[in-house]
Amino acid sequence: MAPSATASESLSPSTTLDTTENNLQPFFVLHRARSRKSEKKPTGTWKTRRRIDLSPSLPKNGENLDAEKAEAWDDCRHVSIRMEAFDDVWSKIKSTIKDVLRDINTNVFNEIHHWVRESFNMITSFATPTFPEATGSFPIVTDAASKQLFTGLVLTKNMEFVDDLLTFEELGSYLRSQGCHVANLSSMEFSVKNGIGGCLRSLLRQFLMVTLDAADVSILATWYREQGSCNNPVVIIIEDMERCSGSVLSDFILMLSEWVLKIPVVLIMGVATTLDAPKSILQSNALHHLCPCKFILGTPPERMDAVVEAVLVKQCSGFGISHKVAVFMRNYFVSQDGTITSFIRALKIVCAQHFFMEPLSFMLCFLLGDDNLMLQGEKYGLSPEMMLKHALNLPSYQSYGRNKIAKQHGETLVNGLAELKKLQCQWSIVILCLYEAGKCDKVTLLDLFCEALDPESFKSRAPDNGGGLENDSGVSSSDCYNHQQYHTTPNSGFICQAVKKLRDLPAVQLRKLLKGWEKYTMNVPQIHDKVKKLLSEVKFEDGKSLGQDLSTISKRHASRKHLKIEDSKAVNEKAAKLLESMVRNYMQPLECVPFHEIVCFKNVNALQTALIGDPRRRIQVDLLDVRNIIRCSCCISSSNTLLPSMHDSSIMYTLAQEHGDLINLHDWYQSFKSIVICLSNKGKHGSNYSPSLKKRKATTEPAKPSEASIQYPIVTELQITGLLRMPSKRRPDYVQRVAFGL
Partner 1 sequence: MDINDGEEEDFEFSRNYFLAKELAGSGKKSTRKISDINVVDEQELRAAAANIELKHEKEINSLVNSYKSLYPKWVFELRCGFGLLMYGFGSKKVLIEDFASTALTEYSVVVINGYLQSINLKQVVIALAEIWWEELKTKRRTSSGVSSKFQQPFNSQSMDDLLAFLHESDVEENDSFVCIVVHNIDGPGLRDSESQQYLARLASCSHIRIVASIDNVNAPLLWDKKMVHTQFNWFWYHVPTFAPYNVEGIFFPLILAHSSTAQSAKTAAIVLQSLTPNAQSVFKILAEYQLSHPDEEGMPVDALYTTARERFLVSSQVTLNSHLTEFKDHELVKTRRHSDGQDCLHIPLAADALEKLLSEINQ
| 340-379 residues near partner 1, rule: CB under 8 A | 341-342, 345, 348-349, 352, 355-356
Of 622, 642, 654, 656, the one binding partner 1 by CB under 8 A: 622
Of 225, 515, 564, 616, the one binding partner 1 by CB under 8 A: 616
Find out whether 324 and 330 touch, Cβ atoms under 8 Å.
Answer: no
User: Is residue 28 involved in binding partner 1 (CB under 8 A)?
Assistant: yes
d(CA 677, CA 512): 82
In the complex with partner 1, the residue whose CB is nearer, 253 or 675, is: 675
What number of CA atoms fall less than 13 Å from residue 465's CA on the CB side?
15
Give the interface segment with partner 1, choosing from 220-228, 383-391, 550-558, 644-652 (CB under 8 A): 644-652
Using DSSP bridges, classify how beta strands 724-725 and 181-185 pair: parallel, antiparallel or unpaired. unpaired
Contacts with partner 1, 320-339, as mask; x by CB under 8 A: -----------------x-x
Give the interface segment with partner 1, choosing from 119-127, 305-313, 533-541, 708-716 (CB under 8 A): 708-716
d(CA 576, CA 569): 10
User: Is residue 522 involved in binding partner 1 (CB under 8 A)?
Assistant: no
First to last CA, the chain: 43
User: Is residue 25 involved in binding partner 1 (CB under 8 A)?
Assistant: yes
Smallest distance, partner 1 to C-beta of residue 297, A: 17
Contacts with partner 1, 566-605, as mask; x by CB under 8 A: ----------------------------------------
d(CA 528, CA 54): 45
Q: Report the phi/psi class of residue 491: left, alpha or beta, with left for phi > 0 and alpha for psi in -120 to 50.
A: left
Of 102, 205, 532, 556, the one binding partner 1 by CB under 8 A: 205
737 contacts: CB under 8 Å, gap ≥ 6? 656, 659, 660, 661, 662, 663, 723, 724
The 3-state secondary structure of 720-737, one letter per residue:
HHCCEECCCCCCCCEEEE
d(CA 578, CA 570): 12
Beta bridge partners of 149: 290
Beta bridge partners of 235: 182, 266
User: Is residue 72 involved in binding partner 1 (CB under 8 A)?
Assistant: no
In the complex with partner 1, the residue whose CB is nearer, 149 or 347, is: 347
Smallest distance, partner 1 to C-beta of residue 157, A: 17
User: Is residue 192 involved in binding partner 1 (CB under 8 A)?
Assistant: no
* CA distance to 245, 246, 736, per residue, from 250 (Å): 9, 6, 43
Smallest distance, partner 1 to C-beta of residue 580, A: 40
What number of CA atoms fall less than 13 Å from residue 635's CA on the CB side?
19
In the complex with partner 1, the residue whose CB is nearer, 80 or 489, is: 80
Q: Cα-flanking dihedrals φ and ψ of residue 325, to 5°?
A: -65, -40
In the complex with partner 1, the residue whose CB is nearer, 425 or 619, is: 619
d(CA 299, CA 496): 26
d(CA 317, CA 8): 42
User: Is residue 557 involved in binding partner 1 (CB under 8 A)?
Assistant: no
In the complex with partner 1, the residue whose CB is nearer, 553 or 665, is: 665
Smallest distance, partner 1 to C-beta of residue 266, A: 25
User: Is residue 189 involved in binding partner 1 (CB under 8 A)?
Assistant: no
The beta strand positions in 132-190, using DSSP E, are 149-155, 181-185
Find out whether 203 and 234 touch, Cβ atoms under 8 Å.
Answer: no
**Contacts of partner 1 in 460-489 (CB under 8 A):** none
d(CA 346, CA 312): 13
Give the interface segment with partner 1, choosing from 137-145, 492-500, 544-552, 656-664 (CB under 8 A): 656-664
In the complex with partner 1, the residue whose CB is nearer, 142 or 728, is: 728
Tell me which H or E stretch contains 47.
Answer: helix 37-52
Smallest distance, partner 1 to C-beta of residue 552, A: 49
Of 483, 562, 631, 685, the one binding partner 1 by CB under 8 A: 631
**Contacts of partner 1 in 84-103 (CB under 8 A):** 86-87, 90
Give the interface segment with partner 1, choosing from 42-50, 125-133, 554-562, 723-731 (CB under 8 A): 723-731
In the complex with partner 1, the residue whose CB is nearer, 87 or 701, is: 87
d(CA 497, CA 491): 9
In the complex with partner 1, the residue whose CB is nearer, 550 or 629, is: 629
User: Is residue 131 involved in binding partner 1 (CB under 8 A)?
Assistant: no
Of 179, 525, 691, 722, the one binding partner 1 by CB under 8 A: 722
The 3-state secondary structure of 498-554, one letter per residue:
HHHHHHCCCHHHHHHHHHHHHHHHHHCHHHHHHHHHHHHHHHHHCHHHCCCCHHHHH
In the complex with partner 1, the residue whose CB is nearer, 119 or 620, is: 620
d(CA 229, CA 624): 70
The number of residues in the chain equals 742
Cα 570 from chain centroid (whole Å): 44
The beta strand positions in 391-494, using DSSP E, are none
Give the interface segment with partner 1, choosing from 71-79, 127-135, 408-416, 575-583 (CB under 8 A): 71-79
Smallest distance, partner 1 to C-beta of residue 706, A: 6
Of 3, 7, 370, 483, the one binding partner 1 by CB under 8 A: 7
Burial environment of residue 678 by CB neighbours within 10 A (0 to 12, 13 to 18, 19 or more): middle
Contacts with partner 1, 224-253, as mask; x by CB under 8 A: ------------------------------
Of 110, 173, 211, 335, the one binding partner 1 by CB under 8 A: 211
- Which 3 state secondary structure label does DSSP give 204? helix
**Contacts of partner 1 in 38-67 (CB under 8 A):** 39
Q: Which amino acid is at 193?
A: K
610 contacts: CB under 8 Å, gap ≥ 6? 349, 353
Provide the b/e sequence for 207-233 (b: ≥16 CB within 10 Å).
Answer: beeeeeeebebebbbbbbeeeeeeebb
User: Is residue 508 involved in binding partner 1 (CB under 8 A)?
Assistant: no
User: Is residue 719 involved in binding partner 1 (CB under 8 A)?
Assistant: yes
Smallest distance, partner 1 to C-beta of residue 34, A: 5
In the complex with partner 1, the residue whose CB is nearer, 491 or 664, is: 664
In the complex with partner 1, the residue whose CB is nearer, 12 or 687, is: 12
Find out whether 676 and 703 touch, Cβ atoms under 8 Å.
Answer: no
- Which 3 state secondary structure label does DSSP give 49? helix
d(CA 206, CA 180): 13
**Contacts of partner 1 in 400-459 (CB under 8 A):** none
In the complex with partner 1, the residue whose CB is nearer, 76 or 550, is: 76
Smallest distance, partner 1 to C-beta of residue 636, A: 10
Neighbours of 402 (CB within 10 A): 12
Of 165, 230, 368, 678, the one binding partner 1 by CB under 8 A: 165
Smallest distance, partner 1 to C-beta of residue 227, A: 19
Q: Which amino acid is at 151?
A: T
Smallest distance, partner 1 to C-beta of residue 246, A: 19
Smallest distance, partner 1 to C-beta of residue 463, A: 42
**Contacts of partner 1 in 269-308 (CB under 8 A):** none
Of 3, 17, 36, 479, the one binding partner 1 by CB under 8 A: 36
Give the interface segment with partner 1, choosing from 134-142, 254-262, 289-297, 660-668 (CB under 8 A): 660-668
Smallest distance, partner 1 to C-beta of residue 239, A: 10
